[in-house]
Amino acid sequence: MNIALAGLTAREEVALGMLVGKSLPGWQCLPATDGPGAPLPPAELYVVDLAGRGMARWTDAAQDELLKALGGAPAVLVAPAFDQTWSALGPHCSQSQPLVLLNKPYGVEAMRAALQQAAAGRTAPARSTAMKPAAPDRVRTAQARPSSRPLLPVEPAQTLPTGTMALPDAVERPPLAAPALVEGTLASSEFQARMAALPGMPLFLRRLAESLAQQQPFELRISFVNRMIFHPGEQWAASNTPAPVLEQLCKDDELASSIEIDAIDSRDARARAARLDIPAQPLQALLWKLVQLLPG
């Protein structure tokens, strides 16, 4: 079974290659394609990171582009954390093109099960464009609650054989792992509006609001150790900065002026969070916590 990869980071490609090589005999990963719009090479199965292909959120145009690129072949689609828009994919999908949807974060077992499910449902030659869609169905999320008409039956993940090499942190412990929201949320637009209306807004929060308004991923370096990585497009942020440090930054404009803010691309944002092992959370949750640091 030949598996083509698209949109994954270099570390994720290596990790997936290790998983396939160690636990799926006879399977192999093909070199990844370059760039979001690069054509996919012929393969029997695909793993597509939707955000890495420039399709972080579902739209009619993104769906049409994806299905055209796949050419009728089965695929495991990896969606960003907290995004449920791709669960709407379905009007043009059928049992003739098995698709399995995984949301980040996912583990070794979930990815292996998704690969096996997609491969098991393959009923047509890879990249066949002549077959007409059969009964439409909805893509199911591999770790979600069962629906009444799943595209592929999801079975409980099996334990890897003894001696199987685990995936590196980028896959097994992806940077987008996030706790459930239990305290409160504040949308980026609301945060910016509050900061704009706040008399004597702290320099730290003003610089953060201005960076968020650019709608591009960026890294905020507070010190050699303390970092914050923001991805407004995918609505997540990663931070290892303690609350007392953030509170001090809100009080001391001179300290806040020493912070460095660098724009980064989407794939680099995920790779940096993984490399630094910085835990992530929904962006709205972090913005809510920052607002709570302001004096009464």
pLDDT of the residue at 84: 81
Q: What is the mean pLDDT of the chain?
A: 74
Among the residue ranges 186-200, 257-271, 278-292, the one predicted with the least confidence is 186-200
Phi, psi at residue 29, to the nearest 5°? -95, 135
Q: What is the pLDDT of residues 4-41, one digit of tens each?
A: 998 887 777 878 888 888 888 889 888 666 667 788 88
| Mean pLDDT of the region 93-106 | 74
Mean pLDDT over residues 148-164, rounded?
Answer: 32
pLDDT digits (tens, 9 = 90+) for 217-229: 999 988 877 889 9
Judge whether 232 and 188 are in contact, CB under 8 Å.
yes
Residue 126 has pLDDT above 50, yes or no: no
Domains in the chain, ordered, with CATH? 2-170 (3.40.50), 188-292 (no CATH)
pTM > 0.85: no
Read off φ and ψ for residue 253, nearest 5 degrees. -65, -30
Spatial CB neighbours of 68, under 8 Å, sequence gap ≥ 6: none
Indicate left, alpha or beta for 40 from its phi (over 0: left) and psi (-120 to 50: alpha).
beta
